[in-house]
Every structure is written in structure tokens, then in C-alpha cells.
Amino acid sequence: MVSWIISRLVVLIFGTLYPAYYSYKAVKSKDIKEYVKWMMYWIIFALFTTAETFTDIFLCWFPFYYELKIAFVAWLLSPYTKGSSLLYRKFVHPTLSSKEKEIDDCLIQAKDRSYDALVHFGKRGLNVAATAAVMAASKVSQLLHLPFYLDQKKGQGQGALSERLRSFSMQDLSTIRGDSSSTVPASVTVRTSSKQSLPKPSRSASEGTGSSVCTCCSVCRLLRDCKWPC
């Protein structure tokens, strides 16, 4: 962890800020020799940064990996070793010179394809955004008109109910009341008819019963008053 922090600080300070300041001085002084020197350094440093992205993932376990990075940056910057100029003249310049035409063609094709792809995806993105905006606007409008619609439906329902109640006249109400009174339950009718069908006790039978009671009372009295021995 300490080696990683130290290597990052060395690359940031001595590999980026220090060359940037001297590149500014070379441009300001218009010294062609210094200008070429720092341009070669930036080309090598760009390749180093690209390679570092992958080596930090796959070679970080290697012993003294970060120390080797610090030593490499120092070798590139040293005026005694002139590592950046050496690498550029020996390897980078010959390779780029032999592959320059192919690299230019690839860059032009990539530029055209990227422009077409950018236009295509830009149009699709605009269409999707426009569709989403229209759908959102329609949903918002529906939500805004929903309370008004509910109030309108509620008012229509109340108006229809009031009109329905007003349509009944006094004659209709009296007719409904008469129909309700005329419909008598069947149980009440059956009970009434059963009461009417029961026979009433005749007056003669009641009178006969009364006379028998009276006769019995007179006989009892005679027996009670009889003085003949049994």
C-alpha cells in the first residue's frame, strides 16, 4: 500500500507536473530543441500510461513492481540517460513511420463510423425522449382533469336523481299507497277466514244446559228436604 502511494505521487509530481512546466517554458522560449525533447517525452509517457492501466491489474503482485515504475519514470526524465528520447528514436518513431498510413485510414474510418453512430443514436435518443415527454404530459393532463371529471359525474348523478324524484306526481304517490294497502298478506286472510268458519254455540244448547243445571239443583233440594227414612 505504501509503495503504491509513493509511486502515484512520484508519477504525478515528477512524471506529469514537472514535464508540463518545462514544456510551457519550451513553448514560451520557442526553443526547437527543447520543444522536440518534451514532445518525445509526452509520446512515451502516453504509451506508459496506457500500459500502466493494464499492468496495475495483472502485474501488481510482481515483487518490486511499484519500485520499478518509479525507477522507469526517473530514467525517462533523467538528462543523463535521456530515456524518453532513446525509446522514441529506437522503437516508437520507426514503428509509427511504417504504420502511419494504416493508422490514418483506421482513424478516418473510425471517425466516420463514430459520427454516423452518434447521429443514429442521437436520433433514437431524441425520439425516445419525445415519446416519454408526450406520455408524461398526457398522464399529467389526465391526473389534472380527474377531479373535474369526478365532480361532473357526481353532479350528473345527483341531477338525474332529483329529476327522477320530481317526475313522481301526487297521483302516482297515491296510486303506490293504494297498491300497498290492497296487498294484504295471505296469513292474515287465512286467519280471518278460519275465525269466520268456526261455529258459534247455539242459544238452545246453552239454554238446555242451563235448565239441566237448574233441574239438578231442584232435585238436590228435594232430597235434602226429604224426611222419609231410607
Between CA 168 and CA 152 the distance in angstroms is 25
Question: What's the pLDDT score for residue 48?
Answer: 92
- Binned at pLDDT 50, 70 and 90, residue 188 comes out as very low
3-state SS of 48-89? HHHHHHHHHHHCCCCCCHHHHHHHHHHHHHCCCCCHHHHHHH
**Cβ count near 170 (within 10 Å):** 7
- 13: pLDDT strictly greater than 50: yes
pLDDT digits (tens, 9 = 90+) for 97-123: 898 888 888 888 888 888 778 787 788
Question: What's the pLDDT score for residue 127?
Answer: 84
Distances (CA, A) of 117 to 105, 124, 126, 130, 178: 18, 11, 14, 20, 86
- Binned at pLDDT 50, 70 and 90, residue 207 comes out as very low
Question: What's the pLDDT score for residue 135?
Answer: 83
> Residue 205 half-sphere exposure, CB side, CA atoms within 13 Å?
4
Sign of the alpha-carbon torsion through 95, 98, 100, 103 = negative
Phi, psi (rounded to 5 degrees) for 101: -65, -45
**DSSP 8-class letter at 200:** P
Contacts of 88 (CB under 8 A, 6+ apart): 40, 43, 44
pLDDT digits (tens, 9 = 90+) for 48-94: 999 988 988 888 788 888 888 889 999 999 888 889 999 999 999 99
Distances (CA, A) of 174 to 133, 139, 185: 62, 53, 20
Mean pLDDT of the chain: 73
Task: State what percent of residues in the chain have pLDDT above 90.
Answer: 19
Question: What's the pLDDT score for residue 109?
Answer: 85
Average pLDDT for 7-31: 89
Question: What's the pLDDT score for residue 10?
Answer: 86
199 versus 66: the higher-pLDDT residue is 66
**DSSP 8-class letter at 14:** I
8 versus 155: the higher-pLDDT residue is 8
For residue 125, give the 3-state DSSP assignment.
helix
- 151: pLDDT strictly greater than 90: no
